[in-house]
Structure 1
Amino acid sequence: MYKYLELAQQKNLARHPVWSGLLHVSNGRPNIHSRQFLLTADSFSLVAELNATLKILYSGEVNQQCRFPARYLWLRQQLDLPELSLQDCTEFQEFKTRAPATEISLAFASENLAQPSSMMGHIFLKLRGLDSNGNPLEHAISFFTDAGGINIPRLFYESMVVGKTGYFSLSPYQEKIALYLGEEQRSIWEYSLKLSDFQKELIQAHLIELRQTDLVYFFQKYNCATVIDFVLSLAATESLNNTGFWLTPKDVVKRAEKLNLIEQSRLISPNRWLIRALREQLPSDQSKAIQEDIDALRLPEVTQLEPNQAFLQLQLAKAYLAYQTETATPQDKRVGVQSNSLKSKISHELQEKYPSHVLQVLEQKNPIESPQDSQIAIGLTRRNEQNYLRMSLTPASHQLDDDNRQYFSETELLLFDVSILKDLRSRQILLDQFTVYSAKSLIPYDAMSGGISGTFRIGVAPQYDAQLRSHKAAFIEGGLGITHRAGHDLDSFALLGLGVRWQSGRAQLYTQPEIGFILREVFDMKSRISVVMKSDLAGNGQSHMHFRFVQSKYFKSKDVSLHLSIDRIRSREKTLSQFEFSLKKMF
């Protein structure tokens, strides 16, 4: 045994990225503290855990390799250890039989702003193989927590400070597809991974180690992204540092790309977005005719059309019929024999008459191409005839004025966004605003698939009185509305919002309807114009109108952008103007 301990030390295995991945260690600290998982939980170090693992594997105790099958497989490969049988490891063998892993893929489900735990998307594994009878099997491996309820402050406290119970699940892959595509209308990207047979077995063995361990979920440091990233590190030959504040699901996809682990990718689009993409490729009168045909449970007549147009119309009819089925209530009589019969007829038409046509839509919305999720900005601000240096930091996600072309609509998602002002004359440093959480989704309304826009914010920001004097106040506000898309490049939106602020020891209700336009321009630019009318319901005159114009320019690196903003805030008594020019860096 001592020669293997010495050889491990000579090869510096404790510092190997795979060993850190097996222990879920980042920056020298373990993310799992369970004594089921760590042998040196009371005095942990990478070296001590490696030595303790070698000793317990060859201590003479029966089937210790079944407790740590992944550690055993990797250490045996690195040190040419004596073989220990895994055939008697019942749980491991049962798992390999139940969820064969001839192919392993990353699966990314797009953002769902309605669910806090999935507001930056969800990443999980897809395992594919054949059972003993040669039948194909597909399973999803996922790590998550219970994020139910609407008490967002409590959810943040529990998931970021004390931790929540983490669940590591194995489920049929089609159940995940049905949930994300059907119920939640979220897109799924699949990335098949280039892995050796040993790496696949190592990952399977490690998944068993995790399944028999108590895991604690932390939103910012141990979530679905970090767990899957540790699993992927078992196939890595180098460590990748996390440049943001915490790892997001999109970061995992990007890291897999940097490590050259992705073999190929494919997008599975929900019918809601497929309808929108197809409608953009067809004249409005054709789309309307398809809608009328499907509403009447009638097969569209496309024989007189050019083949590609006919193919697109039938695909639209198929997607619209499927979307109606997914969103129908149990009492809806349309979901029955007639709709199933029509679905079969449309599928038959596509297979018989257009077998060589391939549907290619939405492929450009690849998470790999999206900007990074953390950002910092610095700018010069002139406000109320005073000059400031403004610095802002967003630890996670993106703003409405950022480059959102890799999203299916214009969105904003901010977590713990903070900005400070430095008075260039007095050198005084002031807190400008602090946003705990902000979500804004401007989904264009579609006649066939609907679409409601919405916003929700909670934080601390300047609130203005009748004289436009600024006072910091905590607030919670939200709103609903509608967005219209004219062509590919122009969105107009209207939101009706309601909020409450806490100022001078009391709560004050206010309304704030908003209208605006977003124009996506040539040369990688975007303009936004918005008007907000904030009115205090107490009738104390604290009402004002806020006009805002923002011009943004994105550079080819995707991580740098310039922004010019002009604000005018007007009350009955006074007008306040603000100008700002800022440089933003995504990281």
Structure 2
Amino acid sequence: MLSKLLIICLSFVIYSQTVLADTESKDLKLDSYLELATQKNLAAHPTWAALLHVSEAKANIRSDTFLLSHTDFSLANELRATLHLLYADQSNQVCRFPARYLWLQKELNLPALPIQNCGDLQEFKARAPMQEIALAFASENLAQPSSMMGHVFLKLSGVDERGQNLEHAISFFTDAGGINVPKLFFDSMVIGKKGYFSLSPYQEKISLYLGEEQRSIWEYTLRLNQQQKDLIQAHLIELRQTDLVYFFQKYNCATVIDFILAVAASRTLDTNGFWLTPKDVVKRAHELDLIDSSRMMSPNRWLIRAVGEQFTSQERALIAQQVERQAVPSLTELDTNKTYLTLQLARAYQAYRNESTKDQSASALAYVKNLDGMTKRDFPVHQLQVLESKNPLETPQDSQVALGFVRQDRESYARVTLTPTSHHLDDDNRHYFSETELLLFELSLLKNLRNRQLLIDKLTVYAAQSFIPYDNMSGGISGAIRMGIKPQFDATFRPKKTAFIEGALGFTHRSGTDIDSFALLGLGMAWRNGQSQVYLQPEIGVIAREIFDMKSRLSVVLTSNIHGDHARNLHYRFVQSKYFQKESLSIHLSIDRFQQQKKRQNSYELSLKKMF
């Protein structure tokens, strides 16, 4: 009995010494890994910051499921904690952070860990193979606050083990439902909203954006090697198992996708404007030489407009009649290119009718298929080029600052206007499908040049306008919404700061390709001195796109009953703009006349604007 007890004690001592020796060995190895990481300054490496979604030393993800050092975060602390988790922890933790492991192993030549046993990662690889990764951009949707600057996401393509070609979309978004826009902005900019990181069939995105929302999609195939693809794939798993919080201005679809691209590009993230937009991500990928090729998918509604501009109104009406009878579209005395465009217009019109009326009848689908067959048979090498100018890569930057000289009411002022995002109606909007405006938190300051008086002239919280030309094939409603603080004339014709919210609906008519005339019927509500008032606000105007990169706009706005006294204020406005494409500069001359009965006031402004 005593001998057995001695054997047990001796075995325990040997086991304890072995465990202690293994622990000391692990500690020594970990110390050497940490020392090498310090020597190589890996904590300051841009890839490490991208893996942690850190910009300007601030973590955008604060969840303890993602940051091991969340109570005392720094890039260096997180690196030490990650190495300790991977190589000093007794349990296998590589499946928690497979991307961090892959990168650290490569940089430090670390021992291999059993990443092949990570079930979630292996399932992700099987379910969504990634032989090819593309950056996808869905164009702006002003009717949806979370997508009013567009949406950017990833397209994953590959062949699975059964030989099937699969396409999936990886997207980050939040719930932007509801009509309470001020609450949505407050929640998404101050409190933060729950973020969703989803994997879905790519065709679902196509159906949503192209079919239901009639938004264009640009695809940019990325130039990545296998190691970069593996790193991105592993990082996507890390994000999918993390609680994410969406912030409109600092952690949105654009910033998340940009961090993912930075994991592959190994470049420091920097934002030129006030915040990163989806178009900025596309432009950055181009600047980093990550884009290998691109293609555009345009919704049928915009194809109708773009192709329809090549025909007269009588020709469009005739083609529409032929399509409605499901006849072969044809016009007399057409050249080869015009015949090709006729088939394209007819096909887009019928497809749009199918989408808008939910017509999935056999005859409707067969008619579209027949037009497709005729196009492939008779025009095998033709390509539609009319929409190439809408490429997001060609658009001006989304942030801007303007400096102007103002003369009004016998006083001279200097004006500074800061626009965090995105663009004015008087800016160069040729890269959009229609004349639009989108402003978020724009601030305009006036400095009286005769004294030291500095005034907040206007504060725009949110403004959106879209002048969609109406046509008999695809319809088109124009509209506007604005909210903020601006000067409005009182009953004594003195400008008073007034909080307001305004909305308008109407129609736009396009003459040729360069002149839009519009009419809107608006309704507004103003608040001043604790009192509110509802008022009518019709508006008419003309926008002309001219040679030498210029544009003119003339508008007349009638505001009725803003003080409850049935008084009418007229505002005549003329703006002449000149754009300098290479320098991202523009010059604007505006003339305003305000009139109330026999009282008048004129204002003149010359401003220089810089996009950045």
TM over 0.5: yes
Q: Which residue in 2 is equivalent to 1:395?
A: 420
Alignment of 1:159-558 (within 5 A): 159-301=188-330, 305-329=334-358, 335-536=360-561, 539-557=564-582
Which piece of structure 1 moves more, 406-415 or 537-546? 537-546
- Candidates 11, 22, 25, aligned match of 2:51: 22
CA distance in 2, matches of 1:380, 1:538: 31
User: Deviation per CA, 1:287-308, whole angstroms, max 9, x where unpaired?
Assistant: 2211001112223246974322
CA distance in 2, matches of 1:138, 1:194: 18
Q: Which residue in 1 is equivalent to 2:125?
A: 96
State whether residues 160 and 220 of structure 1, in contact with CA within 8 Å, keep that contact through their aligned partners in structure 2: yes
- Amino acid in structure 1 at the alignment position of 2:250: K
What is the aligned-residue RMSD (CA, Å)?
A: 1.3
Any idea what SS the aligned residue of 2:117 has?
Answer: coil
User: Deviation per CA, 1:234-289, whole angstroms, max 9, x where unpaired?
Assistant: 12233142111110000111111111111111111000010111111233333221
- Amino acid in structure 1 at the alignment position of 2:125: K
- Amino acid in structure 1 at the alignment position of 2:100: R
Q: Which residue in 1 is equivalent to 2:611?
A: 586
- Amino acid in structure 1 at the alignment position of 2:501: I
Instruction: Give the CA deviation at 1:488.
Output: 1.4
CA distance in 2, matches of 1:52, 1:174: 41
> Which runs of no fewer than 5 residues in structure 2 stay unpaired?
1-29
State whether residues 464 and 542 of structure 1, in contact with CA within 8 Å, keep that contact through their aligned partners in structure 2: no
Question: Structure 1-normalised TM-score?
Answer: 0.97
State whether residues 330 and 342 of structure 2, in contact with CA within 8 Å, keep that contact through their aligned partners in structure 1: no
State whether residues 573 and 591 of structure 2, in contact with CA within 8 Å, keep that contact through their aligned partners in structure 1: yes
State whether residues 595 and 601 of structure 2, in contact with CA within 8 Å, keep that contact through their aligned partners in structure 1: yes
Any idea what SS the aligned residue of 2:62 has?
Answer: coil
User: Deviation per CA, 1:393-418, whole angstroms, max 9, x where unpaired?
Assistant: 01110011111111111100000001
- Amino acid in structure 2 at the alignment position of 1:251: D
User: Deviation per CA, 1:323-382, whole angstroms, max 9, x where unpaired?
Assistant: 0011115xxxx5412212212221221122222222222011111111111111111101
Paired residues, number: 583
- Structure 1 position 570 matched with structure 2 position 599: no
CA distance in 2, matches of 1:260, 1:315: 34
CA distance in 2, matches of 1:411, 1:345: 36
Question: Structure 2-normalised TM-score?
Answer: 0.94
- Structure 1 position 41 matched with structure 2 position 60: no
Any idea what SS the aligned residue of 1:87 has?
Answer: helix
Q: Which residue in 1 is equivalent to 2:171?
A: 142
Which piece of structure 1 moves more, 192-201 or 464-473? 464-473
State whether residues 262 and 269 of structure 2, in contact with CA within 8 Å, keep that contact through their aligned partners in structure 1: no
Instruction: Give the CA deviation at 1:556.
Output: 2.5
Q: Which residue in 1 is equivalent to 2:5?
A: none
Q: Which residue in 1 is equivalent to 2:134?
A: 105
State whether residues 490 and 563 of structure 2, in contact with CA within 8 Å, keep that contact through their aligned partners in structure 1: no
- Amino acid in structure 2 at the alignment position of 1:407: Y
Q: Which residue in 2 is equivalent to 1:31?
A: 60
Instruction: Give the CA deviation at 1:60.
Output: 4.0
- Amino acid in structure 2 at the alignment position of 1:214: D
State whether residues 129 and 157 of structure 2, in contact with CA within 8 Å, keep that contact through their aligned partners in structure 1: yes
Distance of aligned partners of 1:467 and 1:336 in 2 relative to their CA distance in 1, 3 Å threshold: same
- Structure 1 position 56 matched with structure 2 position 56: no
State whether residues 491 and 563 of structure 2, in contact with CA within 8 Å, keep that contact through their aligned partners in structure 1: no
State whether residues 465 and 542 of structure 1, in contact with CA within 8 Å, keep that contact through their aligned partners in structure 2: no
Any idea what SS the aligned residue of 2:389 has?
Answer: coil
Instruction: Give the CA deviation at 1:498.
Output: 0.4
Q: Deviating runs (4+, > 3 A) in structure 1? A: 301-305
Distance of aligned partners of 1:386 and 1:147 in 2 relative to their CA distance in 1, 3 Å threshold: same
Any idea what SS the aligned residue of 2:488 has?
Answer: strand
State whether residues 390 and 420 of structure 1, in contact with CA within 8 Å, keep that contact through their aligned partners in structure 2: yes
Give the fraction of aligned pairs with identical amino acids, expressed as a percent: 61
State whether residues 174 and 246 of structure 2, in contact with CA within 8 Å, keep that contact through their aligned partners in structure 1: yes
- Which of the pair is proportionally richer in helix? 2
Which piece of structure 1 moves more, 538-547 or 221-230? 538-547
Instruction: Give the CA deviation at 1:17.
Output: 0.8
CA distance in 2, matches of 1:252, 1:98: 27
CA distance in 2, matches of 1:438, 1:538: 23
CA distance in 1, matches of 2:188, 2:167: 31
